[in-house]
Amino acid sequence: MQNQESEQPLDEAVLAAAKQKLNDLWQRGKDFLGTEYAILGGAMSWVSDRHLVSAISNAGGFGVIACGGMTPDLLRDEIVATQKLTQKPFGVNLITLHPMLDELIDVCLDLNISHVVLAGGLPSGAAIKKIKDGGAKLICFAPVLVLAKKLIRSGVDAIVIEGAEAGGHIGPVSTNVLAQEILPHIHDVPVFVAGGIGRGEAMVNYMQMGASGCQLGTRFVCAEECSAHENFKKAFIRGQARDAIASVQVDPRFPVIPVRALKNDGTERFTEYQIETIERYKNGEMDLETAQLEIEKYWGGALRRAVVDGDVVNGSVMAGQSVGMVKSIQTTQEIIDELVDQAVSFLAK
């Protein structure tokens, strides 16, 4: 019988040194965000509302409201409600293609939002100038190095690089590759890494490569404070990394923006629906533009059906590949404390 040595507790001096090392690694990110930890909450439509955003900020991270398709009045109400729940900094994520983007920016500036995140496409120079002139810090997503450099020249204050492991709308490149391509070359502004991050050790690795912090979304879906339907949360707890798949494009003539979500009847039916619609186009029942619109309309309201109504069979259960690391319902504070403890332990060992 072999002797099994039990793991010895870490020396207090070693732990203290590890905590200092972690602090040094994300000090720039903390200073930029104004937070205890350089952990951003990913902006998830129908999920990142006042309750989760305030909980992340109160726990020492940086919550971000997902504006999505909100009107300016709805966004104003959400920001005011969030401000009543936290005195800590938080941001607002706006979609660049929103038809009322200017008015949404005005709402953010009127309510003294410190950080605005622009997502969903390359922001216009006018939008960048408006946010900067209004006194807010601007964060943008960069899928390639050349775009990161262009955004910095345009005045963006920080960059998020998000890999294909993330949930929701994704690009084609993994987080690991993006980090290697971009982190060694961007030093002028803080860079936050996102996509597939579910543990503190991973955060440390990216920060040792040059990141100023990390953004996590999937990990926070099963927070007690998250308003998502119980069925939605249960789907996450059951889910494994391999279950979070990207949507499939059947025909290049009918482009599909890839979305990562848990496989269900809805995702399987989407492939069939594309084939059926394309056949109707080939048979002359509809023109190309109409067929494309029919395909795009398939997922209309599907995320809301899953998050709000709890239809996780037919709705879109957007989730990153880190979903396999979501094992239970926890408070947001417990989630963040766990991530920090994992990071410190990793550095100590």
Q: What is the domain-level CATH number for residue 344?
A: 3.20.20.70
Q: What backbone phi and psi angles, to 5 degrees, belong to 76?
A: -60, -45
Give the whole-angstrom CA distance, residue 60 versus residue 200.
15
Q: Which two tokens stand for residue 55?
A: 């909980």
In a domain, 2, yes or no: no
- On whether both 159 and 276 belong to a single domain, the answer is no
pLDDT at position 6 over 80: no
Give the whole-angstrom CA distance, residue 47 versus residue 258.
20
- On whether both 184 and 285 belong to a single domain, the answer is no
* pLDDT tens digit sequence for 319-346: 999 999 999 999 999 999 999 999 999 9
- On whether both 52 and 120 belong to a single domain, the answer is yes
Q: Which domain holds residue 259?
A: 240-318
In a domain, 276, yes or no: yes
Give the whole-angstrom CA distance, residue 131 versus residue 135.
7
Using alpha carbons, list the distances in angstroms from residue 323 to 26, 40, 227, 244: 25, 17, 18, 8
The rounded percent of the chain whose pLDDT value lies above 90 is 93
The gap from C-alpha 165 to its chain's centroid, in whole angstroms, comes to 11
What is the arithmetic mean of pLDDT over 91-112?
97
In a domain, 3, yes or no: no
- On whether both 185 and 314 belong to a single domain, the answer is no
> Structurally, how many domains does the chain consist of?
2
pLDDT at position 272 over 50: yes
In a domain, 235, yes or no: no
pTM: 0.94
Query: pLDDT class for 4, splitting at 50, 70, 90?
Result: very low
pLDDT at position 8 over 70: no
Of the listed ranges 9-23, 218-232, 320-334, the least confidently predicted one is 9-23
Give the whole-angstrom CA distance, residue 114 versus residue 254.
40
Q: 159 with 189: CB under 8 angstroms?
A: yes
Q: Collapsing DSSP states into helix, strand and coil, what is residue 85?
A: helix
pLDDT at position 3 over 80: no
Give the whole-angstrom CA distance, residue 206 versus residue 193.
7
In a domain, 1, yes or no: no
Give the whole-angstrom CA distance, residue 124 versus residue 139.
13
- On whether both 187 and 46 belong to a single domain, the answer is yes
Residue 288: its H or E element:
helix 288-297
Q: Which two tokens stand for residue 119?
A: 């997502």
- On whether both 23 and 50 belong to a single domain, the answer is yes
- On whether both 192 and 245 belong to a single domain, the answer is no
In a domain, 305, yes or no: yes
73-82: long-range contacts, CB 8 A cutoff, minimum separation 24? 75/104, 75/107, 75/108, 76/107, 76/110, 76/111, 78/49, 78/50, 79/107, 79/108, 79/111, 79/113, 80/111, 81/50, 82/50, 82/53, 82/54
The pairing of beta strand 191-194 with beta strand 244-246: unpaired
In a domain, 56, yes or no: yes
- On whether both 196 and 68 belong to a single domain, the answer is yes
pLDDT at position 152 over 80: yes
- On whether both 160 and 218 belong to a single domain, the answer is yes
- State the alpha helices, DSSP H only, in 86-124: 101-110
- On whether both 24 and 117 belong to a single domain, the answer is yes
Amino acid at 144: V
The pairing of beta strand 137-141 with beta strand 115-119: parallel
- On whether both 136 and 273 belong to a single domain, the answer is no
End-to-end Cα distance, the chain: 28
In a domain, 6, yes or no: no
Of the listed ranges 77-81, 125-129, 160-164, 286-290, the least confidently predicted one is 286-290
The gap from C-alpha 78 to its chain's centroid, in whole angstroms, comes to 19
- On whether both 249 and 343 belong to a single domain, the answer is no
